[in-house]
Amino acid sequence: MESGKVRSSNFELLRIAAMLMIVMFHIFLHWPKAQLTDMNSIDFFGNGLFNRPEFYPQLWLIHAAMPLGPVGNGLFMMLSGYFLVSREKIDLARVSQKILMQLFFATVLLVIASALFDSLYNQDTGMYLALIVSGEFNNGWWFIGYYFVVIVIAALFLNKFLAGLEEKQYFTFLITLLAFVQFSWSGRLLDGLASELRTAGIGVFFYALGGFLHKYRPFKEIKTRSLLFVIALVNLFHLLSSYNVTRGNIESFIRNGGNGDFVQFIGELGNFDILVVILVVCLFEIFRRIRIPHSRIINFLGSSTFMIYLIHENAFFWSLYNIRDCITLLYDQPFLLLLEILKWTLLDFLLGVSAYTIFGILLRAVRLRRKRAARLLEPMGKGRIELEIASAQKAEDRESL
Q: What pLDDT, in 10s, does the model give residues 390-399?
A: 555 554 444 4
The confidence score (pLDDT) of residue 28 equals: 96
Burial of 231 (0-12, 13-18, 19+ CB in 10 A): middle
Q: Which residues contact 372 (CB under 8 A, 6 or more apart)?
A: none
The confidence score (pLDDT) of residue 400 equals: 39
Alpha carbons 114 and 110: distance in angstroms, whole number: 6
pTM higher than 0.95 for the full model?
A: no
| H or E stretch covering 308 | helix 305-312
| Under 8 Å between Cβ of 350 and 311 | no
Helix residue ranges, H only, 51-166? 60-65, 68-84, 92-120, 136-139, 142-153, 159-163
Q: What pLDDT, in 10s, does the model give residues 29-75?
A: 999 999 998 888 888 888 889 988 999 999 999 999 999 999 999 99
Q: Which residues contact 11 (CB under 8 A, 6 or more apart)?
A: 2, 79, 82, 83, 287, 288, 302
Through-space distance between the first and last CA atoms of the chain, rounded to whole angstroms? 62
DSSP state of 268: P
Q: What pLDDT, in 10s, does the model give residues 218-228?
A: 999 999 999 99
Per-residue pLDDT in tens (0 to 9) along the chain, 401 residues: 444 455 678 999 999 999 999 999 999 999 999 999 888 888 888 888 998 899 999 999 999 999 999 999 999 999 999 999 999 899 999 999 999 999 999 999 999 999 988 887 755 555 678 899 999 999 989 999 999 999 999 999 999 999 999 999 999 999 999 999 999 999 999 999 998 999 999 999 999 999 999 999 999 999 999 999 999 999 999 999 999 999 999 999 999 887 888 888 898 999 999 999 999 999 999 999 999 888 999 999 999 999 999 999 999 999 999 988 999 999 999 999 999 999 999 999 999 999 999 999 999 998 888 888 777 776 555 555 455 555 555 544 444 33
Q: How far is CA 364 from CA 1, 71, 126, 169, 395, in A?
A: 19, 34, 43, 45, 46
The confidence score (pLDDT) of residue 282 equals: 97
Q: What pLDDT, in 10s, does the model give residues 268-299?
A: 999 999 999 999 999 999 999 999 888 999 99
> Would residue 315 be called left, alpha or beta, if left means φ above 0 and alpha means ψ between -120 and 50 degrees?
alpha
Interior/surface letters 156-188, b for 16+ CB within 10 angstroms, e for the rest: eebbeebeebeeeebeebbeebbebbbeeeebe
Q: How many residues does the chain have?
A: 401
The confidence score (pLDDT) of residue 379 equals: 59
